[in-house]
């Protein structure tokens, strides 16, 4: 079967996007792994599916699969690409669309400058809902972890943006042990569903550097939900004022969170790389 797809990226976090409104494809973990192979497939960090909604008052269903075939709850960079895709493909004429995800609804808005604003919803801070193993909610937690054969204690914040995140403060992201410590914390027992691990360097009260080891993928050039989680963690620690510019290896995002009871608002670019067709 010949399937049409679009290759896109949000600050280098790259995606294969499938329109499952006008074409039908059975998505399995095996197929996702095949398509995600950078040598024998298309290659991507995540596969994004645009599907008809199954809920009222929603424009589309938005599904996300990691390169390893696992389905995940949310992806901020992917959401911006999703918004651009449905407009470019004329699946909608709206500047603002509402999508259903595995963790609830999200509102995507395309600005005149072509940047996309995403209402990411309220961050989840309750440990049992993240999920994160802790006796009670706190702004930071101390975790004992073994990385590279060495056991150490690290302080992190635990936040869910529909998907679980651990955020650590570091003096310099360039020298942070993202691959080793990130991998060890991703699958740590304190995160029962595994987690994305962010390493944040605070430059000022409105500017940070960030690198993220993504669950099921490894380090990526950008992580939208990771940027949101990092800013939430920084504000809860009393170290950030809004809005915050987050510098990721692939580029910059603007994150605004006014505190508990408010949604996190993420604004950034979305880029189409090429169109293609592939047999599946």
The residue extents of the domains of the chain are 2-121+269-279, 127-262
- pLDDT for 114 beyond 90: no
CA distances from 127 to 71, 89, 152, 166 (A): 22, 40, 22, 11
For residue 103, the model assigns a pLDDT of 86
For the segment 193-209, the average pLDDT, to the nearest whole number, is: 98
On the question of pLDDT at 113 being above 90, the answer is no
Q: What is the pLDDT of residue 148?
A: 81
Condensed to tens digits (0 to 9), the pLDDT of residues 253-275 reads: 999 999 999 999 999 999 999 99
CA 16 – CA 171 distance, rounded (Å)? 35
pLDDT in the model for residue 248: 98
Residues with catalytic function? 75, 223
Q: Is 151 helix (H, G, I), strand (E, B) or coil?
A: strand
Contacts of 280 (CB under 8 A, 6+ apart): 1, 3, 25, 31, 34, 35
> pLDDT, tens digit, for every residue of 51-68?
999 999 999 999 999 999
pLDDT of res. 259: 97
pLDDT the model gives residue 17: 98
Q: Which two tokens stand for residue 123?
A: 């961050």
Reference 84, options 55, 108, 60; nearest CA is 108
In whole numbers, what is the pLDDT of the chain averaged over residues?
Answer: 96
- Name the residue with higher pLDDT: 216 or 208: 208
- Contacts of 249 by beta carbon, 8 Å cutoff, 6+ apart: 12, 211, 221, 222
Mean pLDDT along residues 233-238? 98
Contact present, 97 and 110 (Cβ < 8 Å): no
Of the candidates 262, 254, 275, the residue with the CA atom closest to the CA atom of residue 122: 262
Omega of the bond prior to 131 within 30 degrees of 0, cis? yes
Cα–Cα distance for residue pair 184/13, rounded to 1 Å: 22
Work out the angle between the directed axes of helices 224-236 and 76-88 (0-180°, nearest 10). 140
Average pLDDT for residues 34-60, to the nearest whole number? 96
Confidence of residue 2 (pLDDT cuts 50, 70, 90): very high
Tokens of 22: 């006008």
Domain 127-262 CATH superfamily: Diaminopimelate Epimerase; Chain A, domain 1 (3.10.310.10)
Fold exhibited by the domain 2-121+269-279: Diaminopimelate Epimerase; Chain A, domain 1 (3.10.310)
Q: Is pLDDT above 90 for 150? A: no
CB 226 within 8 A of CB 198: yes
Strands 104-110 and 13-19 come out as unpaired
- Would you say the CATH fold of 127-262 matches that of 2-121+269-279? yes
State mean pLDDT over 128-136.
97
Give yes or no for a contact between 265 and 258, defined as CB atoms under 8 angstroms apart. Answer: no
| pLDDT confidence of residue 46 | 96
**pLDDT confidence of residue 149:** 83
In this prediction, residue 129 carries a pLDDT of 97
What's the rounded mean pLDDT across residues 15-31?
Answer: 97
């Amino acid at each position: 079967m010949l399937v049409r797809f679009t290759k896109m990226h949000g600050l280098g976090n790259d995606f294969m996007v499938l329109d499952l409104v006008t074409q039908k494809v059975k998505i399995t973990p095996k197929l996702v792994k095949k398509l995600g192979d950078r040598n024998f497939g298309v290659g991507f960090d995540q596969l994004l599916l645009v599907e008809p909604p199954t809920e009222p008052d929603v424009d589309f269903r938005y599904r996300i699969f990691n390169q390893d075939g696992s389905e995940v709850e949310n992806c901020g960079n992917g959401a911006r690409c999703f918004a651009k895709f449905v407009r470019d493909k004329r699946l909608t004429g709206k500047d603002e669309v509402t999508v259903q995800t595995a963790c609830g609804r999200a509102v995507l808005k395309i600005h005149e400058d072509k940047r996309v604003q995403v209402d990411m919803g309220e961050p989840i801070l309750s440990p049992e809902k993240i999920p994160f193993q802790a006796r009670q909610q706190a702004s930071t937690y101390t975790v004992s972890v073994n990385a590279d054969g060495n056991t150490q204690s690290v302080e992190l914040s635990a936040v869910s943006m529909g998907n679980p995140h651990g955020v650590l403060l570091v003096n310099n992201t360039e020298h942070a042990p993202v691959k080793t410590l990130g991998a060890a914390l991703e699958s740590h027992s304190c995160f029962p569903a595994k987690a994305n691990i962010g390493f944040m360097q605070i430059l000022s009260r409105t500017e940070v550097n960030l690198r993220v080891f993504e669950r099921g993928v490894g380090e990526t050039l950008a992580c939208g939900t990771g940027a949101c989680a990092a800013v939430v963690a920084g504000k809860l620690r009393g170290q950030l004022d809004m809005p915050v510019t987050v510098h990721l290896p692939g580029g910059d995002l603007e994150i605004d969170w006014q505190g508990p009871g408010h949604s996190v608002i993420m604004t950034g670019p979305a880029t189409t790389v090429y169109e293609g067709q592939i047999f599946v």
